Structure 1
């Protein structure tokens, strides 16, 4: 028998890890929706790289959630990438780590909370292949429940948590086609497996997520693109082992621009969400800065 969960179950909103992304338990998750865009499937040569992401996300409604809902997230996510000189199965080996710093303001039905601290730590390893104009990446990523988390209570049902309080394993593939005519077709796809939140006995469902980008190089420094992301939850959430029938989805699209020089680049984008189910609905602005040491 399906267990019915009242709207009060949505009062807890957790923040992202690599980006603001809302799905699964109480509308929150850790996949970096929209973070990647142009040349997402092309790994750089051996060396050390610093990627800095900044995101501002605002949502003023929650599909199938509370009547009055406002969420503002500002996140800064430094990501250190080390590309080695080792090759396995013909692919170049690399590692990365990301530690989000999150400022989250949440208001639901007249109740509000605000927190600013570290989110959940992300660790990953990857292999990259190149063949002419084609580039591929295969990766495995782990999101560890290291961020600040407090269990909601009857006295404090609204908590702006910065961690999810459960771990995630995520296989990832990415692809880029970049011919000499200046076009850049890129995508990054993932599938997430979540364990149970021991404090709430809530197990978030498995889900597919992906970023996409269609760009064009105007000159040696500037690229323009249409970018976005898609999210689709494939299995329902469970509470105490019972299927509660909650599945989220969203699609986002918007413009992007990138400027690159010899050892650095910066990309900016604005994405608007649509086709939302069982999640907050909003818009996001992102900046991505890459520096090669």
Structure 2
């Protein structure tokens, strides 16, 4: 069977799932593409912080995927961060937990499904370093298969699954350069290792993903930026141990603005996807709100 036909067959046998963004198995993954932007590499002082993300994602086509494809995702993602006073290897220690809440509408090839549920729980630990205008973060994130997941059936082959039904380990590096002249150059890079979906015997291939931001501070409180994300699958998916030799990729870019006050900030962006291969293609709007307790 040719790779494209095999991939399409797998999509209809297993159902198509998604949460915040999409990649790998059935065009879906747990990485929040585009969520981070300005000062992504700078951790705050010790304390407790609430970060709340809202994302609307719409895709009207699936490259090398099923016909008549439409995907609409609305996600509210609270992230609780605890920065401790402890230091290891010269870096400040912190922890975080993320629990997505997702509403997903999906249609493909004349079939449709809708789901609203909790997504997969994410837990992470991190170290942050600061040296003059340079800021770094090193982190390890675990994505647990806790979200709602329904195994597709012959009568319901297209399923709007919120959870992925597999676990992920994700090392992360982030960096920001913020000199006094107002420039803000930031990036967050990650690599994801996925285990097998026990219900489908499908293993999503390893992939590289990253957010980027090139911004400028217009005033003490207001910044503008060009932001986006990249995704590149570097290992093929597997079904029952056999490679499916199609790998996803995407590049997204768009404008962003940020307003920051004493103990809170809000960032908004609109990103359009291009250079898409073997995955949904669309656009996304994101809001990120940070509150320091």
With structure 2 as the length reference, what TM-score do the two structures score? Answer: 0.97
Q: Which residues in structure 2 correspond to 1:276-291 (within 5 Å)?
A: 276-291=276-291
Matches of 2:76 and 2:170, distance apart in 1: 21
Question: Which residue in 2 is equivalent to 1:32?
Answer: 32
C-alpha deviation, 1:146, in angstroms: 0.2
Query: Which position in structure 1 is the counterpart of 2:188?
Result: 188
Q: What residue in structure 1 maps to residue 138 of structure 2?
A: 138
Whole-Å Cα distance in 1 between the matches of residues 287 and 200 of structure 2?
A: 34
Unaligned 5+ segments in structure 1 are: none
Aligned to 2:18: 15
CA deviation map 1:185-240 (0-9, x unaligned): 00000000000000000000000000000000000110000000000000000000
Q: Could you say which residue in structure 1 is the equivalent of 2:266?
A: 266
C-alpha contact (below 8 Å) 2:18/2:27 kept by paired residues = no
User: How far apart are 1:6 and its partner, in Å?
Assistant: 4.8
Residue 153 of structure 1: CA displacement? Answer: 1.1
State the distance in 1 between where 2:181 and 2:30 align.
36
| CA-CA distance at 1:8 after TM superposition | 3.4
Aligned to 2:99: 99
Aligned length: 290
Shift of 1:110: 1.2
Partner Cα separation in structure 1 for residue 21 and residue 7 of structure 2: 23
* Contact 1:2–1:245 (8 Å) recurs in 2: no
CA distance in 2, matches of 1:87, 1:75: 34
Contact 1:2 1:243 in 2 (8 A): no
Q: TM-score by structure 1 length?
A: 0.97
In structure 2, the gaps of 5 or more residues are none
> Deviation string for 1:38-71 (max 9, x for gaps)?
0000000000000000000000000000111000
The CA deviation at 1:183 is 0.4
Superposed displacement of residue 7, structure 1: 1.5
Residues in 1 aligned to 2:198 and 2:214: alpha-carbon distance in whole angstroms = 41
User: What SS does the aligned partner of 2:26 have?
Assistant: helix
- What is the DSSP-based 3-state SS (H/G/I as helix, E as strand, rest coil) of the residue aligned with 2:60? strand
Pairing 1:167–2:167 present:
yes
Structure 2 CA distance, aligned partners of 1:157 and 1:6?
14
**What secondary structure does 2:45 align onto?**
coil
Q: Partners of 2:2 and 2:255 in 1: how far apart?
A: 42
Residues in 1 aligned to 2:163 and 2:254: alpha-carbon distance in whole angstroms: 28
The answer for the alignment partner of 2:222 in structure 1 is 222
Q: Is the 8 A contact 1:2 1:242 kept in 2?
A: no
Q: Secondary structure at the match of 1:13?
A: coil
Distance in structure 1 (CA, Å) of the matches to 2:232 and 2:10: 21
